[in-house]
């Protein structure tokens, strides 16, 4: 089976590269070899590769910058995934794609299920929801995994930012009113690909039968404040950490260009039942990643 991984340098794509290569002939590409602002070129490249399965880890993920670049975010998160899905429909190629907890407005104050109605409150969330619609409307066989608060040791993620802040400051002020599921990119890569091995001889039929949106994120949930406390606690033996106190604060003290949903944690039971997998609790994944 020929598998095409789009976006092999991102947090998820980097880890997916290391799991997918066990399951078939893997071709992994990233920017600038593919540029999702140029949908025709992306589809041309896919045609040339002629894959049996596409795993799309490309996304425009800068939530604040998306407010200033809505057209670019829409191309990368919606238009091009829609064109890929049209290609998939025409050529009977199954598609695995990722979306976000930010399709929700955060007003439910309880875990979101796949039955809840999305209502994004920022550009990023709107473009990701539009991407979901484009894929569904194409009629292709797809799995869309909505995930949340993805982290890894790759540059830029929240865990790395906390480590850097904790090396440079004695006091950290972290919001305790934003709640989500911290999701280790490696856990996400493993859980979103392991069914491929079991179904590699009938992957098209498997996606045809199991087609749909699934919530897939770290088990349990936490505020950014609780997440930060856990990171610092697990790093307690690290002598580069200078922080002495972490002070809870509120989102309105840190205005950002994009509004964020306050409670966007996802209920992942549908995934666990369908794929017969237990998603590890976010704290266990965090400990493993920090090598504690
Ligand atoms: N990160 C989160 O907290 C989070 C939360 C919820 C859902 N998700 C979803 O989970 C999935 C994986 O996220 P992630 O954290 O792994 O994202 P990421 O680290 O930002 O990776 C995104 C990848 O897309 C590539 N990319 C961006 N613009 C591109 C373009 N114009 N053409 C081609 N490639 C482009 C990036 O390449 P460069 O590095 O070269 O730019 C990078 O390899 C995405 O669908 C995202 O929406 C993420």
DSSP string, 6-70: E-TTSHHHHHHHHHHTTSSEEEEE-TTTS-TT-HHHHHHHHHHH--SEEEE------TTGGGT-H
Q: Is the CB of 31 under 6 A from ligand 1?
A: yes
Structure tokens, 22: 């066990």
**Which ligand 1 atom is at minimum distance from the Cα of 98?**
45
Identify the pLDDT of residue 170: 93
Structure tokens, 40: 């025709």
CB environment 66-90: b (16+ within 10 A), e (fewer): bbeeeebbbbbbbbbbbbbbbbbbe
**Which ligand 1 atom is at minimum distance from the Cα of 157?**
1
pTM: 0.96
Q: Is the CB of 37 under 6 A from ligand 1?
A: yes
124 is catalytic: yes
Catalytic residue among 124, 142, 151, 221: 124
Distance 129 CA to ligand 1 centre (A): 15
Distance 77 CA to ligand 1 centre (A): 9
CA 145 to chain centre: 8
Q: Is the CB of 6 under 6 A from ligand 1?
A: no
Distance between CA atoms of residues 17 and 20, nearest Å: 5
Structure tokens, 111: 């875990």
Residue 218: count other Cβ atoms within 10 Å of its Cβ: 30
Identify the pLDDT of residue 236: 75
Distance 291 CA to ligand 1 centre (A): 25
Q: Is the CB of 174 under 6 A from ligand 1?
A: no
Q: Is the CB of 60 under 6 A from ligand 1?
A: yes
Distances (CA, A) of 265 to 114, 149, 159: 12, 9, 18
pLDDT tens sequence for the chain (292 residues): 999 999 999 999 999 999 999 999 999 999 999 999 999 999 999 999 999 999 999 999 999 999 999 999 999 999 999 999 999 999 999 999 999 999 999 999 999 999 999 999 999 999 999 999 999 999 999 999 999 999 998 877 899 999 999 999 999 999 999 999 999 999 999 999 999 988 988 999 999 999 999 999 999 999 999 999 999 999 877 778 889 999 999 999 989 999 999 999 999 999 999 999 999 999 999 999 998 5
Distance between CA atoms of residues 77 and 45, nearest Å: 18
């Amino acid at each position: 089976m020929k598998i095409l991984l789009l976006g092999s340098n991102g947090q998820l794509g980097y880890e997916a590269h290391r799991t997918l290569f066990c399951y078939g002939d893997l071709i992994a590409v990233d920017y600038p070899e593919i540029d999702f602002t140029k949908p025709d070129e992306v589809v041309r490249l896919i045609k040339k590769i002629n894959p049996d399965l596409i795993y799309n880890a490309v996304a425009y993920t800068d939530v604040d910058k998306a407010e200033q670049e809505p057209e670019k975010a829409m191309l990368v998160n919606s238009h091009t995934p829609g064109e890929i899905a049209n290609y998939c429909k025409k050529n009977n190629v199954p598609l695995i794609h990722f979306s976000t907890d930010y399709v929700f407005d955060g007003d439910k104050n309880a875990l979101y299920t796949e039955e809840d109605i999305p209502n994004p409150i920022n550009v990023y969330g709107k473009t990701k929801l539009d991407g979901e619609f484009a894929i569904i409307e194409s009629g292709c066989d797809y799995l869309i995994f909505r995930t949340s608060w993805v982290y890894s040791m790759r540059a830029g993620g929240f865990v790395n930012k906390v480590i850097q802040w904790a090396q440079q400051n004695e006091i950290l002020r972290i919001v305790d009113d934003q709640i989500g599921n911290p999701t280790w990119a490696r856990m996400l890569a493993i859980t979103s690909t392991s069914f491929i091995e079991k179904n590699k001889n009938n992957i098209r039929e498997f996606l045809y039968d199991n087609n749909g949106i699934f919530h897939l994120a770290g088990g349990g949930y936490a505020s950014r404040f609780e997440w930060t406390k856990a990171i610092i606690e697990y790093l307690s033996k690290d002598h580069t950490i200078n922080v002495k106190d972490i002070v809870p604060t509120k989102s309105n003290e840190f205005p950002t260009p994009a509004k964020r949903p306050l409670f966007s944690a996802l209920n992942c039971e549908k995934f666990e039942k369908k794929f017969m997998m237990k998603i590890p609790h976010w704290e266990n994944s965090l400990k493993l990643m920090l090598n504690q």
